[in-house]
C-alpha cells in the first residue's frame, strides 16, 4: 500500500526526516510512537505534500504510484488521508459545504457521480452519529469553536466519509476524555476492512488497547529506530525513551 | 446646484400633506445645500455626476410586483413599486401589538419619528423628506414580542425615479424583526430612508438588503436611535450597481444600549458601492460592534467610511469597528476610512481596516481533503463574507441569501 524508502526531508533550513523507511501492506495498522519533536507530524505533512516541507531524497509510493510527484489534492484523491494533530479552523466555510465539496472531489477522482444533496446528507448524518457529534455541527464553520475533543472527532468523521486507502491519524487520541477515546477508536475500527491501512501516531499505549496495531515503530530524530509488535508500545509506556539516548538502539 | 436638484426643489412644492411643515423645513435646508463635489467630504470618493443631470420619469405605470419569495421567512410584506405602496395594508393579518399604517395618515408614531432620527446633513435624506409621498409607519406596542418579520420591499423600475420612506417605533420592552429589501436593475433612481426609534429595553433585529444591480442608482439610509438598555442587531447586505450609497447612523441616546452592525458588500465588475456609517455614543455604557467585509470585483469600487464618535460624557463605552476587504483584481478599488473620535477617557475602542489575505493553513487543510485549489480559493474567499452571513439571527433569510451571494461571487471570479 505505502512504501517509504530512505526519506530525507527538511522544513525551511532544518532537516527533520533523516532516512526513514516504512512499508505498509493493505489492511495493516502501524503505530508510530516517539518523543516530542521526533518528526512524527512532519512525516504526515511530508506525505500529504505540505508547502514548505521539502523532500531532499528518498521515495514514497502509494499503491505503486509516486506520491511525491503529486499535488496535495491529488494525493488526497489518490486515497491518502491525514487526520491533523491540530485541525484547522475555517470560520466562513460550513462543515457541510466543506465535506460535500470534499466527498464529491474524491468521487469525481474515482470516476463516480457526485452525490445529490439528499444522498450526501444521509451519509453525513450517519458519520456524525458514528462519532457522536450532534448534527448541528454540520452547519457550523469548519472546526470553528469546536473543543479539542470535538475537533478530533470531526477529523474521524471526515475519514469515515472520505473512505481513504491509507489514513494517517496524528495524535487523534490526545486531549480526549475516556468516552471520546472509545468513540474515536470505534470510528477507526469500523473502517478496518482488511484493505484500508492506517498509520496511528500516538504517545499512549492506551489507544492501542482499542485500536490493535500489527506493528509498532519508534521514530526518533527523523528515523525509525525500533520496530516490533504491540508489546513494544507496552515497553515504551513502562520505561519511556531514556534508552534512546543511551544508544540501546536495536 | 445641479439641474436635477433644482428640479427636486421645484417638485417639492407640489407635495402638500399633513407633514407639510416638516417637509418645508427640510426644503429650506435643502435650498442651502451645495451640490456635492470632490471637495465635499461625505462624497469625496463617490461622484454624483450621473445624478446631476438625471431626467427620469417621476411617475410610474407599474402597479404590482411579486416580492421575492424567501422560503421559510413567513414575513409580512409591505411592497412598494417605484415608491408607491401596492400592498393592501388595511387587510393584513397582523400579530398582536403591531400597527402598520401608510405615511398619508397622521399618527403619533409618524409624527414622533419623521425627520427626528435621521440627521439633517444627508443631502438625499432631505430630498427624501421633501419628495417621499408614500411610506409606511410601523408601530410596535410596548412589550409586544413580534417574531414574524416585517419586510419592506422596494422595487425600482427601469426609467423611473422614486422615493420611499419608512418610520418605525419599537415600544418599550418590545421585540421586532424588520427587513428592508431593495431591488431593481433598470436605469432608475430610488431613495429609501428608514428611521427607527428603539425605546428602553426594546430589541430590534434589522436587515437591509440593497440588492440593486446594473444601471440602478440607489441612495438610502437606515437611522437608529437607541434608548436605555435597548438592543440593535443589524445586517446590511449590498451590491454596488451603477451607484449605491448608503448612510447608516446609530445613536446611543440612552445608557447600556448594545448595537451589533455587520455589513457585507459584494461588488460585481464596475459596480460602485459607498457605505458611510456613523455611531454616536452620546451616553455612557454603550456597546458597538461593527464589522464590514467586502469583496470587490474587477474595476469595481467600494468606499467605506466608518465613524465612531464617543462624546465626552460617554464613559465606559465599548466600541469596535473592523473593515476587511478582498480585492479580486488589481483593477478593484477600496477607499476605507475608519474614524474614531474619542472625547471620553474611560473607554475601550478598537478599529482597523485591512486588505484580506488567504489563510495558507486553511488552504492546505482544504487541499488535503481533495478539494482542488481553484475551488478551495473560491470557498475561502467567499467564506470571508459568509462568516457574517452565519451570524445573521434569521436562518431563513441567511439560507436564502447564501446561494444567491455565492452565485454572484462565482460569476465575479469568472469575470476576472
Ligand atoms: N518551520 C519549522 N522550522 C524549523 N523547524 C521546525 C519547523 N516545523 C517543525 N520543526 C521542527 O521539526 C521537529 C519535528 O517536529 P514534529 O512536529 O514533526 O514533531 P512530532 O514528532 O510530531 O512531535 P510531537 O510529539 O510533539 O507532536 C521539531 O524539532 C520541530 O521544532
Ligand atoms: Mg506531532
Any ligand 1 atom below 6 A from CB of A44: no
A97 vs B367, B379, B387: nearest CB:
B379
- The reply to whether B390 falls in a domain is no
- The predicted pLDDT at position B60 comes to 84
Which residue range is the domain that position B110 belongs to?
A: 3-358
The answer to the question of residue A226 being in a domain is yes
Can you tell me whether residue B238 is helix, strand or coil? Answer: strand
Compute φ and ψ for B203, nearest 5 degrees. -135, 130
Q: Which of A34, A41, A42 minimizes the C-alpha distance to A241?
A: A34
Chain B, nearest residue to A71 by Cα: B367
Grid coordinates standing for B12? 417639492
Winning range, highest mean pLDDT, from A180-184, A235-239, A240-244: A180-184
Burial B330-348 (b: 16+ CB within 10 A, else e): eebbbebebebebebeebe
Q: Atom 30 (ligand 1): residue with closest C-alpha?
A: A37
Q: Are A36 and A60 in contact (CB under 8 A)?
A: no
In a domain? residue B76:
yes
pLDDT value at residue B355 = 78
Residue B1: its pLDDT value, please?
Answer: 74
Q: Which three cell numbers stand for residue A66?
A: 509516486
pLDDT-based confidence at residue A246 (cuts at 50, 70, 90): low
Q: How many whole angstroms separate alpha carbon B353 and alpha carbon B292?
A: 9
All three cell numbers of A248, joined, read 540501546
- Write the pLDDT tens digit of every residue in B234-281: 999 999 999 999 999 999 999 999 999 999 999 999 999 999 999 999
CB A231 within 8 A of CB A242: no
The answer to whether residue B77 scores a pLDDT higher than 80 is: yes
* Pocket flag, ligand 1, residue A223 (CB < 6 Å): no
Q: How far is CA A104 from CA A108, A129, A200, B409, in A?
A: 6, 21, 26, 21
Q: Which of A8, A33, A39 to mutate to test the pocket of ligand 1 (most atoms within 8 A of CB)?
A: A39
* Mean per-residue pLDDT, B174-195: 97
- Does any domain span residue A133? no
Which residues neighbour B134 within 8 Å (Cβ) at sequence distance 6 or greater?
B80, B83, B84, B85, B102, B103, B104, B164, B165
- Per-residue pLDDT of A24-60, as tens digits, reads 999 999 999 999 999 999 999 999 999 999 999 999 9
In this complex, which of A75, A88, A91 lies closest to B365 when CB atoms are compared? A88
Of B70 and A250, the one with more pLDDT: B70
A79 lines ligand 1 (CB under 6 A): no
d(CA B371, CA B373): 6
How many beta carbons lie within 10 A of that of residue A36, not counting itself? 7
pLDDT at position A118? 92
Answer yes or no: is the C-beta of A71 below 6 A from any ligand 1 atom: no
Decide whether any atom of ligand 1 lies within 6 Å of the A20 Cβ. no
Return the bridge partners of B325, or none. B294, B355
| % of chain A residues with pLDDT over 90 | 74
Q: For residues A115, A119, A122 and A123, what is the CA-based torsion angle, rounded to 10 degrees?
A: -30
Mean pLDDT of B165-190: 97
pLDDT digits over B346-357, tens only?
Answer: 999 988 888 777
Give the total number of structural domains in chain A. 1
Beta bridge partners of B353: B323
Query: What is the C-alpha R_g of chain B?
Result: 21
- Chain B closest-CA separation from residue A7 CA (Å): 21
Phi-psi region of A240 (alpha: psi -120 to 50; beta: other; left: phi over 0): left
Which of A11, A35, A43, A44 is the best mutation target for the ligand 1 pocket, counting ligand atoms within 8 Å of the beta carbon and taking the most?
A11
Evaluate whether residue B403 is within a structural domain.
Answer: no
* Inter-chain CB proximity A73 and B382 less than 8 Å: no
With 0-12 / 13-18 / 19 or more C-beta atoms within 10 angstroms meaning exposed / middle / buried, residue B38 is: exposed
Q: By mean pLDDT, which of A168-177, B77-86, B174-183, B314-323 is the weakest?
A: A168-177
Size of interface A-B (CB pairs under 8 A): 85
Mean pLDDT of A96-123: 94
Q: Is residue B374 part of a domain?
A: no
Burial A192-223 (b: 16+ CB within 10 A, else e): eeeebbbbbbbbebebbeebebebbbbbbebb
- List, for residues B365-416, the tens digit of each pLDDT value: 999 999 999 899 989 999 989 999 999 999 999 999 999 999 999 998 887 6
Q: How far apart are CA B203 and CA B227, in angstroms?
A: 10
- Structural domain includes residue B400: no
pLDDT recorded at residue A250: 43
Distance from CA of A28 to the nearest CA of B (A): 22
* Percent above pLDDT 70 for chain A: 98
Report the mean per-residue pLDDT for chain B: 94
Question: How many domains would you assign to chain B?
Answer: 1
Residues measured by CB to lie within 5 Å of ligand 2, the ion: A 40-41, 85
- Which CA distances in Å does A111 have to A79, A98, A105, B375? 13, 20, 10, 19
Above pLDDT 90, what percent of chain B?
Answer: 86
Q: pLDDT by residue (tens digit) across A175-232?
A: 888 888 988 899 889 999 989 999 999 998 888 989 999 999 999 999 999 999 999 8
Domain that holds residue A181: 2-90+155-245
* C-beta atoms of A93 and B365 within 8 A: no
- Residues of chain B contacting A94 with CB distance shorter than 8 Å: 386, 390
How far is the centre of ligand 2, averaged over its atoms, from the C-alpha of A40 (Å)? 5
Q: According to DSSP H, which parts of B122-243 are helical? A: 123-131
Mean pLDDT over B165-187 rounds to: 97
Mean pLDDT of A69-85: 96
Per DSSP, the three-state class of A171 is: coil
pTM, two decimals, is 0.85
- List the alpha helices (DSSP H) in B39-86: 49-52
**Which CATH number characterizes residue A71's domain?**
3.40.50.300
Q: Is B65 exposed, middle or buried (0-12, 13-18, 19+ CB in 10 A)?
A: middle
Q: A26: Cβ–Cβ under 8 A, 6 or more apart, which residues? A: A1, A194, A195, A196, A197
- What ipTM does the predicted assembly reach? 0.95
Closest partner residue to A101 (CB to CB) among B360, B365, B379 is B379
Confirm whether B379 is domain-assigned.
Answer: no
A69: which residues sit within 8 A by CB, 6+ positions away? none
Nearest atom of ligand 1 to the alpha carbon of A12 = 3
Amino acid at each position: 500500500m505505502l512504501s517509504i524508502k530512505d526519506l530525507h526531508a527538511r522544513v525551511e533550513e532544518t532537516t527533520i526526516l533523516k532516512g526513514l523507511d516504512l512499508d505498509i501492506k493493505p489492511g495493516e495498522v502501524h503505530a508510530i510512537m516517539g518523543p516530542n519533536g521526533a518528526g512524527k507530524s512532519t512525516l504526515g505533512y511530508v506525505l500529504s505534500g505540505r508547502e514548505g516541507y521539502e523532500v531532499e531524497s528518498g521515495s514514497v509510493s502509494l499503491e505503486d504510484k509516486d506520491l511525491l510527484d503529486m499535488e496535495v489534492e491529488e494525493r488526497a484523491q489518490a486515497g491518502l488521508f491525514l487526520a491533523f494533530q491540530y485541525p484547522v479552523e475555517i470560520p466562513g466555510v460550513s462543515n457541510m459545504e466543506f465535506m460535500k465539496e470534499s466527498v464529491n472531489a474524491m468521487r469525481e477522482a474515482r470516476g463516480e457521480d457526485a452525490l445529490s444533496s439528499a444522498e450526501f446528507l444521509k451519509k453525513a448524518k450517519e458519520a456524525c452519529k458514528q462519532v457522536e457529534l450532534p448534527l448541528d455541527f454540520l452547519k457550523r464553520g469548519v472546526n470553528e469553536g469546536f473543543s479539542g475533543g470535538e475537533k478530533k472527532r470531526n477529523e474521524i468523521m471526515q475519514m469515515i466519509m472520505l473512505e481513504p486507502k491509507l489514513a494517517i491519524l496524528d495524535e487523534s487520541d490526545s486531549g480526549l476524555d475516556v468516552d471520546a477515546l472509545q468513540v474515536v477508536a470505534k470510528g477507526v475500527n469500523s473502517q478496518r476492512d482488511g484493505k484500508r491501512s492506517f498509520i496511528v501516531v500516538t504517545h499512549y499505549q492506551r489507544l492501542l488497547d482499542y485500536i490493535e496495531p500489527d506493528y509498532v515503530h519508534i521514530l526518533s530524530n527523523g528515523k525509525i529506530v525500533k520496530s516490533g509488535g504491540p508489546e513494544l508500545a507496552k515497553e515504551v509506556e513502562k520505561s519511556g525513551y531514556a534508552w534512546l539516548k543511551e544508544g540501546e538502539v536495536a | 446646484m445641479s439641474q436635477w436638484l433644482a428640479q427636486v426643489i421645484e417638485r417639492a412644492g407640489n407635495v402638500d400633506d399633513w407633514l407639510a411643515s416638516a417637509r418645508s423645513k427640510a426644503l429650506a435646508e435643502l435650498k442651502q445645500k451645495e451640490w456635492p463635489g470632490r471637495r465635499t467630504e461625505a462624497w469625496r470618493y463617490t461622484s454624483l455626476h450621473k445624478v446631476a443631470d438625471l431626467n427620469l420619469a417621476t411617475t410610474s405605470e407599474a402597479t404590482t410586483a411579486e416580492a421575492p419569495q424567501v422560503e421559510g421567512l413567513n414575513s409580512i410584506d409591505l411592497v412598494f413599486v417605484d415608491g408607491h405602496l401596492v400592498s393592501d395594508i388595511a387587510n393584513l393579518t397582523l400579530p398582536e401589538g403591531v400597527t402598520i399604517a401608510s405615511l398619508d395618515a397622521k399618527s403619533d408614531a409618524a409624527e414622533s419619528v419623521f425627520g427626528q432620527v435621521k440627521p439633517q446633513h444627508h443631502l438625499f435624506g432631505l430630498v427624501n423628506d421633501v419628495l417621499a409621498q408614500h411610506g409606511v409607519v410601523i408601530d410596535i406596542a410596548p412589550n409586544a414580542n413580534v417574531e414574524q418579520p416585517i419586510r419592506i420591499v422596494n422595487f425600482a423600475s427601469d426609467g423611473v425615479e422614486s422615493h420611499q420612506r419608512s418610520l418605525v417605533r419599537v415600544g418599550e420592552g418590545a421585540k421586532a424583526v424588520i427587513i428592508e429589501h431593495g431591488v431593481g436593475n433598470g436605469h432608475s433612481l430610488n431613495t429609501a430612508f428608514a428611521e427607527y426609534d428603539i425605546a428602553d429595553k426594546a430589541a430590534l433585529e434589522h436587515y437591509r438588503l440593497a440588492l440593486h444591480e446594473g444601471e440602478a442608482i440607489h441612495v438610502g439610509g437606515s437611522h437608529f436611535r437607541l434608548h436605555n438598555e435597548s438592543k440593535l442587531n443589524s445586517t446590511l447586505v449590498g451590491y454596488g450597481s451603477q451607484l449605491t450609497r448608503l448612510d447608516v447612523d446609530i445613536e446611543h441616546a440612552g445608557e447600556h444600549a448594545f448595537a451589533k452592525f455587520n455589513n457585507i458588500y459584494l461588488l460585481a465588475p464596475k459596480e460602485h458601492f459607498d457605505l458611510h456609517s456613523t455611531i454616536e455614543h452620546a451616553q455612557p455604557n454603550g456597546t458597538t460592534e461593527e464589522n464590514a467585509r467586502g469583496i470587490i470585483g474587477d474595476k469595481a469600487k467600494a468606499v467605506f467610511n466608518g465613524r465612531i464618535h464617543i462624546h465626552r460624557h460617554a464613559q465606559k463605552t465599548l466600541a469596535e469597528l473592523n473593515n476587511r476587504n478582498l480585492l479580486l483584481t488589481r483593477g478593484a478599488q477600496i477607499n476605507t476610512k475608519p474614524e474614531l473620535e474619542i472625547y471620553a477617557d474611560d473607554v475601550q475602542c478598537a478599529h482597523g481596516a485591512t486588505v484580506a489575505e488567504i489563510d495558507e493553513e486553511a488552504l492546505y487543510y482544504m487541499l488535503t481533503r481533495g478539494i482542488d485549489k481553484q475551488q478551495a480559493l473560491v470557498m475561502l474567499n467567499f467564506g470571508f463574507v459568509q462568516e457574517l452571513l452565519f451570524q445573521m439571527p434569521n436562518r431563513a433569510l441567511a439560507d436564502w441569501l447564501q446561494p444567491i451571494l455565492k452565485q454572484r461571487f462565482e460569476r465575479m471570479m469568472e469575470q476576472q
